[in-house]
Amino acid sequence: MNKSIIKLTTIAIMLFMGTTVQADNKSPFDYQLKAKKISENVYCFFGALETISKKNGGNMVNSCYVQTKEAFVVIDSGPTFAYAKQAYAHMQKIANLPVKYVINTHDHDDHWLGNSFYKSKGATLIASKNCEENIVVGMKTRMGTTLGKKLFGQTKIVKIDKIVDDNLTLTVGDEKFEITQPISIAHTNGDLIVYLPNKKVLFVGDLLFNGRLTSLRDGSILGSLEALDVIDSYHAKNIIGGHGYETDENATAEFRQYLSEIKKQVLKAQDEDVGMEQITQKVKMPYFKKNKLYDELHNRNVLDAYKELEMMEDDEE
């Protein structure tokens, strides 16, 4: 029998049996991306509220794109080459436009490992100095280690093209993009936010979580609270964080409550001479058990906050 007939027969059987046929058989993982429209010409893919796994292909991050008359601008390129390729396919269904810029909000690899795909399409990659320094060609990443060679696929680490020192304003077509590093250290020591003044839309990366807990391992609880003050000062109509589904003007409320309560309870415990070895038993905050990754991250966050706030008190003495 002719090979093409065999192939068509196989596909027909798969469809009849209810099996999904992947359109791009070169991609190691089908992310089944569905873009949500946030505002006019602003779209986001929302990742799962969980950690990296082979089951989700690393899709536990929010990645967005903005359509202008001239080109698309991407905010965070996602976890792999295949993810970025599939996101790009969605953009092309909306408009046959190139991607001119990719803005990386910080150096955690779930946010920027799609860079190599966009680089292959001629996009300019933008990041903070800290992010640029920490994205080293040839480095091992937690994404690559967790997913393995097959799922990691064509993903490569490529150099950043343009550095944001404190702020940078870009005009692409009919849209202005104001890129700022609001705080020296918050989630990391190189977080960027991107504001669209014409639309009052603000992208803030991992300076904002909702529905799941953050990790303070590379940052500062005090800086994170300061960053939330800056974010709220924009009075944006839409605020899009790096993880979570809330995007309205009140999107920061739950995250602020979580960080403020940790700070309050840890400082109180320190005043009562509670040591580091007991602090996680003292600061449980059961209300936040409803949030994803509470069991994995909360105790570590309390310990990190304890160390930072203890150091702050030592400096004040």
Q: Computed over its alpha carbons, how large is the radius of gyration of the chain?
A: 21
Instruction: Say if residue 156's pLDDT is above 80.
Output: yes
Which helix (H) or strand (E) element contains residue 57?
A: none
Does residue 114 register a pLDDT over 50?
Answer: yes
With a cut of 80, say whether residue 6 has pLDDT above it: no
How far apart, in whole angstroms, are the C-alpha atoms of residue 265 and residue 263?
Answer: 6
Task: Please give the backbone phi and psi of residue 202, each rounded to the nearest 5 degrees, phi first.
Answer: -125, 125
Q: What three-state secondary structure class fits 188?
A: coil
Architecture of domain 29-252: 4-Layer Sandwich (3.60)
Task: Give the tens place of pLDDT for each residue, 64-102.
Answer: 999 999 999 999 999 999 999 999 999 999 999 999 999
Strands 99-103 and 72-75 turn out to be: parallel
User: How many CB atoms are located within 10 Å of the residue 225 CB?
Assistant: 17
Q: What is the mean pLDDT of residues 201-213?
A: 98
Q: Which of 308, 299, 301, 307 lies closest to 214, judged by CA?
A: 301
Q: What is the pLDDT of residues 240-295, one digit of tens each?
A: 999 999 999 999 999 999 999 999 999 999 999 999 999 999 999 999 999 999 99
pLDDT for res 4: 47
Which pLDDT does position 12 carry in this prediction? 40
Cα separation, 210 vs 245, in Å, equals 7
Strands 238-243 and 162-164: unpaired
As a whole number of angstroms, the distance between CA 206 and CA 212 comes to 12
Contacts of 223-226 with CB under 8 Å at 24 or more apart are 223/183, 223/184, 223/185, 223/186, 224/186, 224/187, 224/259, 225/256, 225/259, 225/260, 225/263, 226/182, 226/183, 226/186
